[in-house]
Structure 1
């Protein structure tokens, strides 16, 4: 098993989603992390109204970052991982981003609300996935907690972020795991007016480009087991269909900066909101930002 990552940061707010994220860490940290840092953020409540008045007299500062830190530390100690905790004043996303700036992985739960809201990742998780410069694992309440990862699904679109995601997946997954790489070709939105033969030619060209990338990947990593999936259709649908029953989904961010820095790529965002298993978002290399 890989020792690529050494220090993980986990957001903790006392919710069931945060506890599930901690359990995911316990299931997967052995042999991958040497230290896990649990972070709890807090700030004074505000009264919505004239001037968003702060109510400093209300004491909401948590005493610890976890209800039972000693027991949690003992559980991580059993798998050879050191546990530390931190309670920090500030907006949750800002605190987590600062705490994970030099970490190898940031792990977060989702909001976990029912109904339509199950499709919407909490704002903190989304902000961290958008702005973190380290990989971010988002663990839905439906995500399996087994540590014996067997199937990892990776999105591939030839971008620097996608290539970084594939590299991360090959390092994180055990040697026995199968890494399923998914590419998709979607016709132009005005494709109804295009010659169907040209659409087929575009699909074939995209498929050939995907195969060329995978040929290089497989040649460079003969020790790994890869499966290729290339389909016509929306990339998010292709990823999620393939990810059914998988242990992990890994995608790259869009990699564009400037005015679009606050947005993840549309495919990554949709997968983030719809995935029922843990999704890891890998940032683009620094020289692409």
Structure 2
């Protein structure tokens, strides 16, 4: 993966957690880390002296303190800081144009209790030109003492074996290889209409096994190139007769990272139903990888 790792911060606990995750990832990739803070300037109807406001001074101090803390915890990592006088979403979309990876917390300082994913995270996940990682909103105490951002768990790839995206598969293999963990490829499927029984009947076990064998082969074929290029990565094939969104969320329970794709040109404020569900319910960081 080429390009700096960019992380957006706003002083919230979630953004501090995202910054630590981003620093670890930048060090893992051997890339620089760009720490970005943005807030629009207040609209003035009357000209005023161009002097820093107390709010601007506080934001500058917060940015410098974050860079200092990250430098102490990650010696040797090249860290740059950037200020934008624009909305956070617009600023980070601009930064994403030249980034290799964009990282942010699920919700920012403007969030409220019970809000799982904020509008900025959803917009960036649906529009950014580079892969986006959204770290979960819950504090460790909220998740029963767990710390998903630092989890050494496997990388989970949500994949449609009938229409795999090379960029997404490559990202997932690369993430597993760098971490030295297994890659679990989750492919959810449903019975073909010809095999779907009436509500009062059950499908014969032999018919279901035949269909499942086909799905396993499709998944194996979809991962062939990734396995060839990453022979040291142990791959677990997880083929489930289940709803895709529920399948990837269930698989992410003990994961260190969940990787999903997003078709470019289909950008919206929501990056698709499966990714949307994962961003709201997965307990680990979620990577949304755009593909053509």
Give 5+ residue unaligned stretches, structure 2.
139-146
Distance 2:181 2:241 in 1: 26
Q: Kindly provide the CA deviation profile for residues 67-105 of structure 1, in whole angstroms up to 9, marking residues without a partner as x.
A: 515623532651x21111111111111100101211111
Could you tell me which of 256, 259, 275 is aligned with 1:250?
Answer: 259
The residue number in structure 2 matching 1:72 is 69
Task: Report the Cα distance in structure 1 between the residues aligned to 2:45 and 2:279, rounded to whole angstroms.
Answer: 33
Q: Secondary structure at the match of 1:240?
A: helix
CA displacement at 1:145 relative to structure 2: 3.7
Q: Which is worse superposed, 37-46 or 131-140?
A: 37-46
Tell me if 1:208 matches 2:217. yes
- Residues 134, 56 of structure 1: CA spacing in aligned structure 2 closer, same or farther, 3 A cutoff? farther
Given that 1:65 and 1:86 are in contact with CA atoms closer than 8 Å, whether structure 2 keeps it comes out as: no
CA offset digits 1:191-232 (Å, max 9, x no partner): 565994798465554333223323454344322211110000
Distance 1:88 1:176, change over 3 A: closer
Q: Secondary structure at the match of 2:275?
A: helix
Cα 1:107–1:205 shift into 2, 3 Å? same
Matches of 1:175 and 1:43, distance apart in 2: 38
- 1:172 counterpart residue number: 175
Aligned to 1:94: 90
Contact residue 27 and residue 145 of structure 1 kept, 8 A: no
**Using the alignment, how far apart are the partners of 2:193 and 2:243 within structure 1?**
11
Say what the alpha-carbon RMSD is for the aligned residues: 3.4
User: Could you tell me whether the CA contact under 8 Å between 2:155 and 2:175 is conserved in 1?
Assistant: no
The answer for the alignment partner of 1:109 in structure 2 is 105
Is residue 2:284 matched to residue 1:277?
yes
Inter-CA distance 159–185: structure 2 relative to 1 (3 Å threshold): closer
TM-score under structure 1 length normalisation: 0.79
Which of residues 6, 10, 17 is equivalent to 1:9? 6
Q: TM-score, normalised by structure 2?
A: 0.78
**Residue in structure 2 matching 1:18, options 15, 18, 21:** 15
Residue correspondence of structure 1 range 1-289 to structure 2 within 5 A: 4-44=1-41, 59=53, 60-61=55-56, 62-64=59-61, 66=63, 68-69=65-66, 71-72=68-69, 74-75=71-72, 78=75, 80-111=76-107, 116-118=114-116, 121-142=117-138, 143-146=147-150, 149-158=152-161, 162-173=165-176, 174=178, 176-187=180-191, 196=203, 200=208, 203-253=212-262, 255=263, 257=265, 260-262=266-268, 263-284=270-291, 288=292
Q: Specify the alignment match of 2:142 in structure 1.
A: none
Q: Using the alignment, how far apart are the partners of 1:205 and 1:151 within structure 2?
A: 25
C-alpha spacing 1:45/1:233, structure 2 compared with 1 (3 Å): farther
Matched residue, 1:50: none
Instruction: Say which SS state the counterpart of residue 90 (structure 1) adopts.
Output: coil
The CA deviation string for residues 227-285 of structure 1, in whole angstroms up to 9 with x for no partner, is: 110000111211121211111111111x152xx4314221111111111111111110x
Q: Which runs of 5+ in 1 are unaligned?
A: 47-52
